[in-house]
Chain A
Amino acid sequence: AQKITQTQPGMFVQEKEAVTLDCTYDTSDQSYGLFWYKQPSSGEMIFLIYQGSYDEQNATEGRYSLNFQKARKSANLVISASQLGDSAMYFCAMRRSRGAGNKLTFGGGTRVLVKP
């Protein structure tokens, strides 16, 4: 069974500093995708970044980068130069292949609060 573990239930970060959100996963699949989503207090799920299991380069999207360590089964999110608007809940998720239903399995989330 797939499992995503986010060990940091909540954290504070100073504005303009970088923050790393931890994510480890467990799967026996060879092909999978890893995602990070942001959920602000308004509730919507905002896609941040994607990493494929066969991608050799770490994914980057603006201020977001994904530190993918396949052997350790970790997919940490790094947010650089934090902004007040980054205060939100962050979820790490893993997608199985279409043959397995394309299901997203989510971690329990990490709440980030950016301090001015």
Chain B
Amino acid sequence: EAQVTQNPRYLITVTGKKLTVTCSQNMNHEYMSWYRQDPGLGLRQIYYSMNVEVTDKGDVPEGYKVSRKEKRNFPLILESPSPNQTSLYFCATWGPLDTEAFFGQGTRLTVV
């Protein structure tokens, strides 16, 4: 079954404590991206990767890092989380025809 798997699903952490949200896909897709969702703002792209070792900033990259060392994984790293990074995060991949984005289940992050 085609899947995009994020972990953890829920996380409460404290300001400044480094954390990583993992994203893994089993569809051999080249393109992966991270979004955050905030009320009234829809989803906004944080970072994207068009292939292994190729990453670029989206619309709201401040405070985040990513890496793409292998095709299936695209972790999102918050080096020093702050309360304004409290949000619902989604990882997504694109199929080869670009007619559907496959989303992970979402990670609800709370930074206190």
Name B42's contact: one of A35, A103, A106 (CB within 8 Å). A106
Q: Is the CB of B58 within 8 A of A44?
A: no
Known: A93-B43, A103-B58, A107-B42. 19 other contacts (CB 8 A): A33-B99, A43-B88, A43-B108, A44-B105, A44-B106, A47-B102, A47-B103, A50-B100, A91-B43, A95-B98, A102-B33, A102-B50, A102-B98, A103-B33, A103-B45, A103-B59, A104-B33, A104-B92, A108-B41
CB neighbours (8 Å) of B102 from chain A are: 47
Name B94's contact: one of A45, A52, A102, A109 (CB within 8 Å). A102
Asked if A116 is at the interface of the complex by the 8 Å CB criterion, the answer is no
| Bound Cα distance from A106 to B44, whole angstroms | 7
The chain B residues found within 8 Å of chain A, CB to CB, are 31, 33, 35, 40-45, 48, 50, 56, 58-59, 88, 90, 92, 94, 98-103, 105-106, 108
Interface residues in A56-93 (C-beta closer than 8 Å to B): 91, 93
Residue of A nearest to B59 (CB): A103
Q: Is the CB of A98 within 8 A of B103?
A: no
Asked if A112 is at the interface of the complex by the 8 Å CB criterion, the answer is no
Q: Is the CB of A4 within 8 A of B42?
A: yes
Residue of A nearest to B90 (CB): A45
The chain A residues found within 8 Å of chain B, CB to CB, are 4, 33, 35, 37, 43-45, 47, 50, 52, 91, 93, 95, 98, 101-104, 106-109
Residue of B nearest to A107 (CB): B42
Once A43-B105, A50-B99 are accepted as A-B contacts, the answer to whether A103 and B90 lie under 8 Å apart by CB is no
CB neighbours (8 Å) of A44 from chain B are: 103, 105-106
24 A–B contact pairs at CB < 8 A? A35-B100, A43-B105, A43-B108, A44-B106, A45-B43, A45-B90, A47-B101, A47-B103, A50-B100, A91-B42, A93-B43, A95-B101, A98-B31, A101-B45, A101-B48, A101-B56, A102-B50, A102-B98, A103-B45, A103-B58, A104-B33, A104-B45, A108-B40, A108-B41
